[in-house]
Structure 1
Amino acid sequence: MGWKDHKIKNLIKEINDMFEKVIKRVKGKEGGDLGRIIINHPEFNHAILVPLYKWSNINANRVMEAIERFLNSDENLPLDDQMSIIVGNISIPKGSGKTVPITRLSGTNSSIAIKRSLLRVENTNNHLCLPIAIGRTFVKLCSIVSLDEWRLITKDDPTTFNATEKVIKHRVMTGSFIRNIKTPTKNSYRTAMALTLCRKADIPTDRPLSLVDIKPFEDLLNVNIQVLSAKLCNKFCRVANVPGRKNIYLYLTQLENGENHFDGIGSINGVFGYGYFCETCLKPYKNKGKHACQTTSDVCGSNHCIIGDDTMSCFHCNRSCRSKECFDRHITKKDKRGRDEEKSMCDKVFQCKKCRKVIESSQRKPEQHRCREWKCQNCFKYQLGQHLCYQRMNVKPSSAVPRKYFFYDFETYQRDDIIQCKQGYVPDSPCEKKCTTDCRCTKCRICKNCSLSTCGLYEHKVFYAILQSTCENCGANDEDDEVTDQSKCFTCGSRCEKCMVLKKDQTTLPCPTTCGYRQRVFSGTDAAVKFCSHIMTPHYKNTVLIAHNAKGFDNYPVLNALIDHHGVRPNKILYNGSKIMYMHVAHGLDLTFIDSLNFIQMKLSKIPECFGLTELQKGYFPHLFSSPDVFNYKNGEWPASWYYGTDSMSEKALEAFMKWYDTKKNDRFDFQKELFKYCVSDVDILRRGCMKFRSLMMQVTSKTNDRGENIQGIDPFNYVTIASACQGVFRNLFLKEVYVTMIADQQTGVKSSCPSKYINDRLHIQLPDKDDWTLKEDIANRYSVWDTMFHKSDIALVPSEGYVTDAFSKASIQWLEWIMEKWRRKGRLVEIKHGLNGQEHREGPYRLDGFHVESLKKQPMSSWVSLI
């Protein structure tokens, strides 16, 4: 700019003009967004900051004021290339678009919409979705009165007041008012209500409204408006906590094209799918008594329980009640709707007086409780201190309901964006082969600057996906099952918005002409989003989704689509380094994503030969030819051989490819046709190979019990890797468990503890003084069997924290031994417990270096020290 070596104080006007241009360009048309400006220089003691404001309130004068305040102490700083000016912008979500899909669980008709928890706002030609959503949720706080009561309440209101203004003032309404607001076809009533709200709150209606416009509506209606965001995985993006105000809830959906939309939430419990919701913490919870905060008590279960001056304790369960009202609710056998219950909160839970631990009475009776005990999740026994347990066998299948299996494959192009570090990709060592970006050797694979193999590569973008499904009702057990674009199944086939809904676990039949297809195609640059929208439906509950090398690629676009477009975060992800080995999506769907390469560790092209599928053969496709420019390429020349990645083929593979290519190179190339044929072939090989592997695995691991009943074998796809599946086989078929069964002789009443074990799911007991094993049913005439507990197995289970080795101080042990020796010389035998003559004594969570039991029992505290 020609300002080098000039002083800031001499260029005030020029700098002012520069900031005017910068601010005008950054803030654009959206004055509701937030911005800040930071000016820095190595010689500054601190940066010049313009605080975070709306762009409508930021101008060059505000920036110059900050600079002038700084110049009072530093007026002679030069302008040079070390001066940096950072202009930041925070885009505030605005609601202006049409109604967009709620994508929490499914595509265009999600479970939120199905459950009627959402108050949909159907505005198509204005920017009023925010005030309409606020109005619809506000009227749920108002009481409905008769027409005569309405006239009596509003008789003194000004004649200029319309119905909405009267509702705002008195918080009551007539039945006809709420019906008009709720009826989808009567948009004029909602629009009139929204315009009234905007006028009363002094909010403009000629632009999209954002989160920063909500505060005036809160003050007008005297409510707290909480906003739930789909893009943030159904977390709150705006929270208000003004005391004394009731909450109303909005739902903000956001799309990549910039459109946002506000809907009202009629039932916040229904949105989260929980029975209870704390309006103070904004957290859902399932069971009354499982949540406690400033206003919610886990003693009485009420969400309006404040600590009073008359706190009291319950002598029956030892719990502390916040007030007399809290105590009354605590002992009352009523639920939150006033219905009778078998047990009160007092009967359900008790608290230990010593350790203050709260325990459910159904899990542990008060007389059984021991302080510092814990329950082992393997043997399900209560333990004290360190506990060494044993491996258990799998007694039940991981899924009682037959599962569906989806096999899919993504096709990508990689010509647009190169992924590289800030310093840029530089090969770690000189490359003699002169590799390209598409194919790099081991020498130039790693970047010298960031040490990553992904640096300098094109980003893979999904543009095509094929999905094939199978289940027990179609081809899960048929290795010759062929899936075409006309194959149908009522269980695992495709569903539309009409037939995909499950009502109380009742399966509806698919639409006869449009649904039920086992093969689906998703195309376009948003193919991954369409794929996830299709599978995220209640009808596909309990499904395993399998791709070859999913851990290396396919799981990543799925994860991105789930989070960015559906607001769903997998509840469990298992990594191996940076690879996603396993993903599980709960949210009422039970979708499991695994990698077939973790079970069948070979190239996809080797699977047909491995499993004897001689009629199948993996094809070829010019992956490097793929780009948006050639999606409609038809009847053109066949792509050159290098587009097929010949540089990375082995000699044998290259020879086979060139033999095939010579038969095709003179033909005409249809991109969509060849793409479809190639993808279908890949998914077909994957599906049939995996189901053949599953069939063989279940066949060799099945067994027959002594009643002649066939017990299903191990399904490998209930596990993550072939190693974990083999562990499951061992635990089911070969691991022997030993139990202890308590019996009582009906004649003498003598109780005995006998070894026992399960053989073919039937309990066998070794009676006292006998070597053989007897069925439980065969001793029923003489013995009463009243308890069976797991004792041990042949394999130890490594504790979750490892085998803990306590460390001892050599000096402290020597000192304690000297104290005992000193008293022995005086003729008195003193025994002090320490880590090397038994075990360190514990008091609560603490271990004591030395402990003299007799001193604790017989002598006052002052005499303990006299031992020393």
Structure 2
Amino acid sequence: MTAKARLDGHEKWNSIRQGRNIQMNLAKELHHNANIPLRRCGIDDIKSFQRVLDGYQIHVVSKEHFNAIIYEGPEAEKKIYLYLHDNHFDVITKMPAFLGRSYYCTICNKGYDHKERHTCNNACHHCYKIHDVQKEQWKYCEDCNRYFLNNICFNLHKQTSKLGQSTCTTNFRCNQCGQSVYAKLHKKPHLCGEQYCRVCKDYFPESHQCYMLPEQIKKDHNKYFSQSTHENDQSTAQMSQKEKSKIFIFFDFECRQDDILQCDRGYKTTTEEKKCIHCKQSWCGTRKHTPNLCVVHKVCEECMSKEVNSSTRCHKCGQNEYIFRGETARDDFCRWLFSEANSGAKVLCHNFKGYDSYPILQYLYQNGVLPEVIKSGSKFMSIDVP
């Protein structure tokens, strides 16, 4: 009801948002209309609420499914977004802010940062901008040797960004071979007959044979396709700084094994059966690894060869040793590890493919973060966190 009141511009919106009696009364009314008892609700109850909320479309975003939408009601003009986490529903007032993006598409349910680059917006294939489709009155541009639908399309392709660039200056058609050229992709002047290689990220003759892509070329190519030109400049500056002084973090967990993992009915065996007779699962009855100590060394290329301890400090990467103790050791370490101060760091652990990777994966899962992983069988060899 809080989300509905916000969409309706309810005159007592602040009182509803602050959880006062009016919020409870509206919730009771909704439960009565949907014929649902006053109790903790689940997805099935949300479906019942949807049936009585005509004109509203409910979306449920699930933390356990890495912020994916697990329920979507019938299409309606007014859209309600709920965040399901830890068996509780919260209201998402702005999906772009929730996803950390500039815009949110209600067609494909994805966040994005640039209107022209989002396919659902159907950006014009000539000026690469978004505008209404009008009568075709083709207009030729002598500067880039390309044709545009009409005056609006022509003028938009001439518009310059804050850095003085435009579609006209970054895209042109060769007068001799007629090939469309995207200037940003060219590392050398255009030559007729060359074609763009998506593997090597450059233009080559038709006879070109490509091989494994060097790391530096990948970085150069990613720079061109970052979210904006302004972000390009920032990321390039940050990358050059990191190249000068790469950060490495080494850690090791020590765990206690006092607790036993059990199924819902409890671990029970017989003399003939080693597995639990209730669930037949191999994990039931095993000892749970609970981290209670984590020792961390943070170094860069300048201080890596030096001896580090709790009192040493590097003028570039800062404090060298961190120690996290107690029952909250894992969470304290992970909050520190995934902070902005450690962005871009390479993290290494001696027994990562053993059990040291699992506490980190559990933390990411509990916080709705989906990492990219490289596995070898059931063991995790690498985790990349966005």
TM bucket normalised to smaller: 0.5 to 0.7
List aligned pairs for 1:6-85, cutoff 5 A: none
C-alpha separation between the residues in 2 aligned to 1:208 and 1:393?
52
Shift of 1:320: 8.8
* Cα 1:372–1:378 shift into 2, 3 Å: closer
Which residue does 1:582 correspond to in 2? Answer: 382
C-alpha separation between the residues in 2 aligned to 1:329 and 1:203?
55
* Cα 1:481–1:261 shift into 2, 3 Å: same
Does the 8 A contact of 1:488 with 1:518 survive in 2?
A: no
Are 2:240 and 1:408 aligned? Answer: no
List aligned pairs for 1:804-815, cutoff 5 A: none
Q: Structure 1 vs Structure 2: percent identity of aligned residues?
A: 19
List aligned pairs for 1:753-832, cutoff 5 A: none
Deviations 1:436-458 (A, max 9, x none): x9xxxxxxxxxxxxxxxx97997
Shift of 1:297: 1.0
Amino acid of the structure 2 residue aligned with 1:546: L
C-alpha separation between the residues in 1 aligned to 2:309 and 2:115?
52
* Cα 1:245–1:253 shift into 2, 3 Å: same
Which residue does 2:123 correspond to in 1? Answer: 298
Unaligned residue ranges in structure 1 (runs of 5+): 1-130, 142-170, 255-259, 420-436, 438-453, 494-515, 587-868
Residue 348 (structure 2) aligned to one of 546, 551, 556: 546
Deviations 1:325-363 (A, max 9, x none): xx847843799xxx99956667766799xxx99874543
Does the 8 A contact of 1:233 with 1:568 survive in 2?
A: yes
C-alpha separation between the residues in 2 aligned to 1:378 and 1:398?
24
Amino acid of the structure 2 residue aligned with 1:583: I
C-alpha separation between the residues in 2 aligned to 1:195 and 1:418?
39
Which residue does 2:77 correspond to in 1? Answer: 245
Does the 8 A contact of 1:181 with 1:189 survive in 2?
A: yes
C-alpha separation between the residues in 1 aligned to 2:158 and 2:70?
36
C-alpha separation between the residues in 2 aligned to 1:358 and 1:285?
27
Does the 8 A contact of 2:158 with 2:167 survive in 1?
A: no
Shift of 1:270: 1.8
List aligned pairs for 1:383-532, cutoff 5 A: 383-388=205-210, 399-400=243-244, 402-403=246-247, 405-411=249-255, 413=257, 416=260, 459=286, 461-471=288-298, 476-477=303-304, 479-483=306-310, 518-523=322-327, 528=330, 531-532=333-334
Q: Secondary structure at the match of 1:289?
A: helix
Does the 8 A contact of 2:309 with 2:321 survive in 1?
A: no
C-alpha separation between the residues in 2 aligned to 1:568 and 1:416?
27
Residue 332 (structure 1) aligned to one of 138, 147, 156: 156
Which residue does 1:210 correspond to in 2? Answer: 42
List aligned pairs for 1:667-682, cutoff 5 A: none
Residue 112 (structure 2) aligned to one of 285, 300, 319: 285
Does the 8 A contact of 1:376 with 1:383 survive in 2?
A: no
Q: Secondary structure at the match of 1:553?
A: helix
Does the 8 A contact of 2:56 with 2:78 survive in 1?
A: yes
Which residue does 2:234 correspond to in 1? Answer: none
Deviations 1:762-798 (A, max 9, x none): xxxxxxxxxxxxxxxxxxxxxxxxxxxxxxxxxxxxx
Shift of 1:229: 1.0
List aligned pairs for 1:28-177, cutoff 5 A: 131-132=1-2, 134-135=3-4, 139=6, 141=7, 171-174=8-11, 177=12
* Cα 1:348–1:381 shift into 2, 3 Å: closer
C-alpha separation between the residues in 1 aligned to 2:158 and 2:59?
30
Deviations 1:724-757 (A, max 9, x none): xxxxxxxxxxxxxxxxxxxxxxxxxxxxxxxxxx
Q: Secondary structure at the match of 1:551?
A: helix
Deviations 1:605-660 (A, max 9, x none): xxxxxxxxxxxxxxxxxxxxxxxxxxxxxxxxxxxxxxxxxxxxxxxxxxxxxxxx
Does the 8 A contact of 2:34 with 2:51 survive in 1?
A: no
C-alpha separation between the residues in 1 aligned to 2:107 and 2:247?
40
TM-score w.r.t. length of structure 2: 0.64
Larger radius of gyration between Structure 1 and Structure 2: 1
Residue 180 (structure 1) aligned to one of 15, 24, 27: 15
TM-score w.r.t. length of structure 1: 0.32
C-alpha separation between the residues in 2 aligned to 1:341 and 1:221?
48
Which residue does 1:562 correspond to in 2? Answer: 364
Shift of 1:217: 4.2
Amino acid of the structure 2 residue aligned with 1:409: F
C-alpha separation between the residues in 2 aligned to 1:283 and 1:208?
29
Are 2:72 and 1:223 aligned? Answer: no
Does the 8 A contact of 1:251 with 1:262 survive in 2?
A: yes
Shift of 1:529: 5.7
RMSD between aligned alpha carbons?
5.0
Deviations 1:36-90 (A, max 9, x none): xxxxxxxxxxxxxxxxxxxxxxxxxxxxxxxxxxxxxxxxxxxxxxxxxxxxxxx
Shift of 1:206: 1.0
C-alpha separation between the residues in 2 aligned to 1:285 and 1:374?
27
C-alpha separation between the residues in 1 aligned to 2:162 and 2:182?
20
C-alpha separation between the residues in 1 aligned to 2:90 and 2:152?
40
* Cα 1:342–1:532 shift into 2, 3 Å: same
* Cα 1:248–1:320 shift into 2, 3 Å: farther
Does the 8 A contact of 1:406 with 1:467 survive in 2?
A: no
* Cα 1:347–1:190 shift into 2, 3 Å: farther
C-alpha separation between the residues in 2 aligned to 1:576 and 1:204?
48
Amino acid of the structure 1 residue aligned with 2:350: H
* Cα 1:214–1:455 shift into 2, 3 Å: closer
C-alpha separation between the residues in 2 aligned to 1:357 and 1:193?
63
Amino acid of the structure 1 residue aligned with 2:209: H
C-alpha separation between the residues in 1 aligned to 2:78 and 2:180?
32
Shift of 1:534: 5.1
* Cα 1:188–1:390 shift into 2, 3 Å: closer
C-alpha separation between the residues in 2 aligned to 1:270 and 1:237?
19
Shift of 1:190: 3.4
Does the 8 A contact of 2:96 with 2:103 survive in 1?
A: yes
Amino acid of the structure 2 residue aligned with 1:569: L
Q: Secondary structure at the match of 1:461?
A: coil
C-alpha separation between the residues in 2 aligned to 1:218 and 1:181?
22
Count residues with an aligned counterpart.
Answer: 334
Deviations 1:198-250 (A, max 9, x none): 45x435351122223334447535122222111111111112351x5243322
Which residue does 1:757 correspond to in 2? Answer: none
Q: Secondary structure at the match of 1:270?
A: helix
List aligned pairs for 1:246-395, cutoff 5 A: 246-254=78-86, 260-293=87-120, 296-299=121-124, 301-302=129-130, 328=152, 331-332=155-156, 360-363=182-185, 368=190, 373-375=195-197, 378=200, 380-388=202-210
List aligned pairs for 1:741-752, cutoff 5 A: none
C-alpha separation between the residues in 1 aligned to 2:191 and 2:15?
59
